[in-house]
Amino acid sequence: MATLQLQPVTDLADPALKPYRTLRRRKDLERQRVFVVEGDKVVQRLLESAYPVDSLLITPAWLERVRSLLDRRFETIKIHLAEKAQIEEITGFGCYQGIKAVGRIVDPAALSSVLERSPRPRLFAAFDGISNAENLGVMVRNCAALGVHAVIVGENSASPFLTRAIRTSMGAIFRLPAVEVDDLVVALQALRADGVRCVAAHPSAEGRTLARTDLTGDCCVVLGSEGYGLRPEVLAVCDEAVAVPMAAGVDSLNVSSATAVFLYEAARQRGLGQ
DSSP letters along 109-178, please? --HHHHHHHSPSSPEEEEESS---HHHHHHHHHHHHHTT-SEEEE-TTS--TTSHHHHHHHTTGGGGS-E
| Residues 252 and 162 grouped into a single domain | yes
Show which of 61, 87, 104 is a domain's final residue: 104
- Confidence band for 185, pLDDT divided at 50, 70 and 90: very high
| Residues 70 and 122 grouped into a single domain | no
Per-residue pLDDT for 24 more than 80? no
* Residue 11 belongs to some domain of the structure: yes
Per-residue pLDDT for 81 more than 90? yes
List beta partners, residue 170.
none
Show which of 104, 122, 152 is a domain's final residue: 104
* Residue 245 belongs to some domain of the structure: yes
In CATH, what number is assigned to the domain containing residue 189?
Answer: 3.40.1280.10
* Residue 230 belongs to some domain of the structure: yes
Per-residue pLDDT for 273 more than 70? no
At residue 232, the pLDDT reads: 95
Percent of the chain residues topping a pLDDT of 70: 94
Per-residue pLDDT for 167 more than 90? yes
* Whole-number Å distance between alpha carbons of 154 and 184: 5
* Residue 154 belongs to some domain of the structure: yes
| Residues 151 and 241 grouped into a single domain | yes
Average pLDDT for 41-47: 96
| Residues 197 and 217 grouped into a single domain | yes
Least confident segment among 43-47, 89-93, 137-141: 89-93
Per-residue pLDDT for 158 more than 60? yes
pTM confidence score: 0.92
| Residues 81 and 158 grouped into a single domain | no
In CATH, what number is assigned to the domain containing residue 66?
Answer: 3.30.1330.30
The helix (H) or strand (E) run that includes residue 99 is strand 99-104
- Confidence band for 59, pLDDT divided at 50, 70 and 90: very high
List beta partners, residue 81.
8, 58
At residue 110, the pLDDT reads: 95
At residue 92, the pLDDT reads: 77
| Residues 79 and 161 grouped into a single domain | no
Show which of 54, 79, 104 is a domain's final residue: 104
Helix axes 40-48, 60-70, angle to 10 degrees: 30
At residue 71, the pLDDT reads: 93
| Residues 124 and 85 grouped into a single domain | no
Average pLDDT for 241-259: 84
| Residues 36 and 64 grouped into a single domain | yes
At residue 141, the pLDDT reads: 98
DSSP state of 49: S
Per-residue pLDDT for 97 more than 60? yes
| Residues 184 and 228 grouped into a single domain | yes
| Residues 252 and 132 grouped into a single domain | yes
| Residues 40 and 131 grouped into a single domain | no
Q: What is the maximum alpha-carbon separation in the chain? A: 65
Task: Give the chain's count of helices (H) and strands (E).
Answer: 11, 11
For the chain, what is the domain count? 2
CB contact at 8 A, 12 and 69: no
List beta partners, residue 93.
none
At residue 28, the pLDDT reads: 66
- Confidence band for 57, pLDDT divided at 50, 70 and 90: very high
Q: How far apart are the first and last CA of the chain?
A: 40
Residue 268: Cβ within 10 Å count: 14
* Residue 234 belongs to some domain of the structure: yes
CB contact at 8 A, 17 and 90: yes
Higher pLDDT, residue 250 or 166: 166
Range of the domain at 45: 3-104
| Residues 165 and 246 grouped into a single domain | yes
At residue 247, the pLDDT reads: 81
Note the pLDDT tens digit of each residue in 198-246: 999 987 766 688 989 999 999 999 999 877 889 999 999 999 999 888 7
* Residue 274 belongs to some domain of the structure: no
